[in-house]
Structure 1
Amino acid sequence: MKFNSACKALAVASAAAMLLAGCGGGSGTDASDKSGAGFDENAKTTISLAGWSLDMTPEFKTLADGFHKAHPNVTINIKQYSADDYDKQLTADISSGAQPDVFPVKTMVKYVTYADSQGLADISDIAKGFQGDKHIDLNGYDHDGKYFALPYRSDTWVLFYNKDMFHKAGVEEPSAKWTWDDYTKAAKELKEKLPEAGYDGNSVYPMYMHNWQSVVQSFALAQSGKSADDTFLKGDFSYMEPYYKRALEWQDEKYTIDWNTSFTNKVQYQPQFGTQKAAMMPMGTWYAAVLVNQQQTGEADKFSWGMAPAPQNPDKKLPSTPITYGSPTSLAISSKISGQKLAAAKEFVKWAVGQGGAVELAKISTTPAYIDDKVTETFFSPEGMASDQASKDAWSKHDRKMEVPVSAASDTINSILKDTHSSIMTGAKSPSDGLKEARQNVKDQGVLDE
């Protein structure tokens, strides 16, 4: 993976201006230099952990309580940030040296900026313990030969589908062999047969495609068969064109709510699938927990559902492992702590990133970054969770690519592509013209990895 210099990051990312104290890449503090004699299990220690939306996001308390149970002498206090302004608030804290002892890197788009901030400890020694472990993916975390964060949760995109609707319409369920052409064919069949099965043809659709740019762009990038270094980071977005043509076809054929309606009316994906307004929906695995909960509370209808792998690129040979995309959430450690506090923070991160934390997250139906048989069994154990083998395989067996490449330029490029997405999906520009304009706009910003 290529990275632009930290000086370049300073020029293209506004957040970096508050973070960077110098222009030397990978300048975080080496945690091993200050860890002293190592973690003392018997020493009473308190460390702080950043989190957001604590009432609705139980993962932070779950990890804190789980680690405390395993290490009773370590107390973890959670500092709440705004979910919407997390990066802005954390940036300010790092700039003033007031960051919590442990904090999430919410999106990988910001990883390079944070890694170059001098506010993160080098935790390469923890990463070394996971290298070669097939149960966790550390791709994208090596920054100039060092690791400044590690993933503790990692949602990937799968295809949610309503088994009852497929069964009643007499349409074959999705499989791991589906391409996007198969997906389109099934949508056409569902559109014809769902009304015959008793569903309202004016309000029930074969699919729902949410209005996020990633639903088109990140699938295209992941399944293009080309490196992001040769496409996204070079400003070549032509690989997205066939994906946009399909997305526009789905709109034109009324297989899904059109983008403009979805965006303007702020349509939420949960009720679209949960109240059986759509038979299929590509979405991140986090939705499984939401659906289980909403079916229990009555916010969603009661119906049988499952997960299938994301459909694959019809222009490429079907891969042996389905290719999809996702964005991990990571944990980093403050460069301002030392001694027993640092040792305890490192012990916590090592536990949270590994099987110990993964099992605790799986208990609350949160998808961890570390997935093995025990974690999978735990995740699928709650009542109401899809429990068929195909759903388990879709959740646990895939080749996950980054939603957005890890680079100092990614934030700027992604912002430009967000505008491109809306212009294409509203019909203001053709896919070809929109993507060419995006290339020129990115080039004008001077951030291309050339």
Structure 2
Amino acid sequence: MPRATAGSLIPHTVKGETGAAAVRAVLAIVLAALLVAGCGGGDGDGDASGEIRFLVFGEPEELEAYRNVIRAFRRVEPDIQVNLVEASDRDDLLARLSTSFAGGSPPDLFLLNYRFYGQFAARGVLEPIESRLESSDVFQPDDFYPQALDAFRFDGELTCLPQNISSLVVYYNRDLFRRAGVPEPRPGWTWNDMVRKALALTKDSDGDGNIDQFGLGVEPSLIRIAPFVWSNGGDVVDDQDRPTRFTLDSPAARRALEAFFDLRQLHFVIPSEEEVESEDDETRFLNGRTAMVLSSRRATPAFRTITSFDWDVAPLPRHRKPAGILHSDAYCMTEASGNKTAAWRFMEFALGPVGQRITARSGRTVPSLVEVSRSPAFLDPKARPRHSSVFLDTIPVIRRVPTISTWPEIEDASEGILEVGLYEGVSAQEVTRQLNEATRPMFARAEK
């Protein structure tokens, strides 16, 4: 008899349930289905048991979602113990991975953004998972958004499986817009529309000569600038798969850079570097002192704690055409794992319909499974943001940065150079010259 799975037997949604109640309701259905079927999910390797280690980092709400997934998994696979290993931040996670790979004792699984996984894929320390995915009874490749799945192919080989497919959006304070009589942003709005709104919402409330409320918050980083370069018809690098240099010195890319730097140097709608150091953009938004902030779905759990004002999300404004940038994390299995059957069994559960519904309800993820992304687990009309569909509407125009092994170094080297353009008024032409000078050796060293 064909194997019944939790993924194939749960309904699209458990209506009227949220949080722990939703988890319990889904689990009841899953457990009943598995009892009827007489077996659990798997990769065709038979029974699985033992312990696996799963390395992650994240905000408290995100970590609690992973604990909920592990608890749910334990109820359907009691012979497998998943030990959650919590890193303090991304740098700590990367350091732990590098050390454990060098010492021959890496975790069985870890969660990492596509921008940082190439350095490990290039070393051959990740377990290819294409064959497992294709033989799975829980999901198939076509069940995932291809933009997220393709981000984790290295030299054509799928090495990790994505849990989310976020994009950059504009979070905005609806109350500040209303009080200022400024229309809320709508799909199709332009860069100039955003600047005009930001100008109208930047205020010196007490007349002391200092700005108390800024119209916009955005960090000077490649992943914030890239979508506007693409929107203006430019490219970030000369070759997506085998890049050798930045192409931000092209006319279209340079004009996008100039417009970005003008946010501070000409319009003064974003805080100075010193003001950001004392209160970062997202904290300033939380405190009601910034009208708009650019961020990914990562900011949603924190913003859901806001009780003093209403907020929502809008798509990125465009220059010449709509564009977005991929934000995606994936479960990666290590080649040195001593319990790959159990590790894959947990991946199937966590990234299947049950697990993705649990993490989606935390607010942190835009599910990589198409079905779950279109369910109330993500599009809950009672949960903020009201227009979570904006994240899905952006998927067709999402692009990504390269995944070469030295990309993290390239991002780090670029950050300080972009900062002087935004905060100190260094010209876009000089910024692009410095970027190429600093990063060309890193591009050359990349294991592509």
Pick the TM interval, shorter chain.
Answer: 0.7 to 0.9
Aligned counterpart for 2:176 among listed residues 138, 153, 165: 165
In the alignment, structure 1 residue 215 sits paired with structure 2 residue 213 = no
Deviation at 1:306, TM superposition (A): 0.8
| CA distance, structure 1, for counterparts of residue 253 and residue 132 of structure 2 | 37
In the alignment, structure 1 residue 91 sits paired with structure 2 residue 98 = yes
Deviation at 1:159, TM superposition (A): 0.6
Equivalent pair of 1:409/1:447 in contact (CA under 8 Å): no
Deviation at 1:272, TM superposition (A): 1.1
| CA distance, structure 1, for counterparts of residue 202 and residue 418 of structure 2 | 26
SS at match of 2:358: helix
| CA distance, structure 2, for counterparts of residue 86 and residue 370 of structure 1 | 22
Tell me the equivalent position of 1:365. Answer: 363
| CA distance, structure 1, for counterparts of residue 187 and residue 369 of structure 2 | 19
Tell me the equivalent position of 1:117. Answer: 123
In the alignment, structure 1 residue 346 sits paired with structure 2 residue 344 = yes
Tell me the equivalent position of 1:146. Answer: 157
66-75 or 271-280, which deviates more: 66-75
Say if 1:410 and 1:171 are closer, same or farther in 2 by CA, change over 3 A: same
Number of equivalences: 391
Tell me the equivalent position of 2:142. Answer: 132
Task: Give identity over the alignment, percent.
Answer: 18
Q: What is the 5 A alignment of 1:165-244?
A: 165-191=176-202, 202-217=211-226, 219-221=228-230, 224=233, 226=235, 228-230=237-239, 233-238=244-249, 239-244=252-257
Equivalent pair of 1:49/1:103 in contact (CA under 8 Å): yes
Tell me the equivalent position of 1:20. Answer: none
Equivalent pair of 2:171/2:311 in contact (CA under 8 Å): yes
| CA distance, structure 1, for counterparts of residue 59 and residue 67 of structure 2 | 8
| CA distance, structure 1, for counterparts of residue 283 and residue 246 of structure 2 | 36
Opposite residue 103 of structure 2, the aligned amino acid is: S
Equivalent pair of 1:284/1:326 in contact (CA under 8 Å): no
Equivalent pair of 1:219/1:325 in contact (CA under 8 Å): no
Tell me the equivalent position of 2:426. Answer: 429
The superposition leaves residues 252-279 of structure 1 with CA deviations (integer Å, 9 ceiling, x where unpaired) of 3221212x2245x342223311221111
Opposite residue 88 of structure 2, the aligned amino acid is: S
Opposite residue 385 of structure 1, the aligned amino acid is: R
Say if 1:386 and 1:413 are closer, same or farther in 2 by CA, change over 3 A: closer
Aligned counterpart for 1:51 among listed residues 44, 51, 56: 56
| CA distance, structure 1, for counterparts of residue 88 and residue 81 of structure 2 | 23
| CA distance, structure 2, for counterparts of residue 364 and residue 304 of structure 1 | 19
| CA distance, structure 2, for counterparts of residue 37 and residue 171 of structure 1 | 54
348-357 or 371-380, which deviates more: 371-380
| CA distance, structure 2, for counterparts of residue 110 and residue 342 of structure 1 | 23
TM-score by length of 1: 0.77
- Give structure 2 stretches of 5+ with no counterpart: 1-41
In the alignment, structure 1 residue 398 sits paired with structure 2 residue 394 = yes
In the alignment, structure 1 residue 66 sits paired with structure 2 residue 72 = yes
The superposition leaves residues 45-82 of structure 1 with CA deviations (integer Å, 9 ceiling, x where unpaired) of 33221123685632331332232233333221112333
Tell me the equivalent position of 2:81. Answer: 75
Deviation at 1:359, TM superposition (A): 0.4
Equivalent pair of 1:48/1:100 in contact (CA under 8 Å): yes
SS at match of 2:168: strand
Equivalent pair of 2:52/2:83 in contact (CA under 8 Å): yes
Say if 1:189 and 1:373 are closer, same or farther in 2 by CA, change over 3 A: farther
Say if 1:330 and 1:266 are closer, same or farther in 2 by CA, change over 3 A: farther
Equivalent pair of 1:97/1:119 in contact (CA under 8 Å): no
Equivalent pair of 2:366/2:378 in contact (CA under 8 Å): no
Opposite residue 288 of structure 1, the aligned amino acid is: T
Equivalent pair of 1:205/1:255 in contact (CA under 8 Å): yes
Deviation at 1:290, TM superposition (A): 0.7
153-162 or 87-96, which deviates more: 153-162
396-405 or 90-99, which deviates more: 396-405
Deviation at 1:92, TM superposition (A): 1.0
Say if 1:66 and 1:368 are closer, same or farther in 2 by CA, change over 3 A: farther
Equivalent pair of 2:159/2:332 in contact (CA under 8 Å): yes
Tell me the equivalent position of 1:439. Answer: 436
Deviation at 1:158, TM superposition (A): 0.5
Tell me the equivalent position of 1:415. Answer: 412
- Give structure 1 stretches of 5+ with no counterpart: 1-35, 296-300
The superposition leaves residues 389-421 of structure 1 with CA deviations (integer Å, 9 ceiling, x where unpaired) of xx1221222136455311134234323322321
| CA distance, structure 1, for counterparts of residue 258 and residue 187 of structure 2 | 23
| CA distance, structure 2, for counterparts of residue 219 and residue 357 of structure 1 | 34
Opposite residue 396 of structure 1, the aligned amino acid is: L
Opposite residue 50 of structure 1, the aligned amino acid is: L
The superposition leaves residues 8-59 of structure 1 with CA deviations (integer Å, 9 ceiling, x where unpaired) of xxxxxxxxxxxxxxxxxxxxxxxxxxxx993435x54332211236856323
SS at match of 1:242: helix
| CA distance, structure 2, for counterparts of residue 380 and residue 358 of structure 1 | 13
| CA distance, structure 2, for counterparts of residue 446 and residue 90 of structure 1 | 22
Deviation at 1:220, TM superposition (A): 2.5
| CA distance, structure 1, for counterparts of residue 86 and residue 202 of structure 2 | 45
Opposite residue 160 of structure 1, the aligned amino acid is: Y
Tell me the equivalent position of 2:325. Answer: 325
| CA distance, structure 2, for counterparts of residue 74 and residue 362 of structure 1 | 24
Deviation at 1:291, TM superposition (A): 0.9
SS at match of 1:85: helix
Deviation at 1:286, TM superposition (A): 1.5
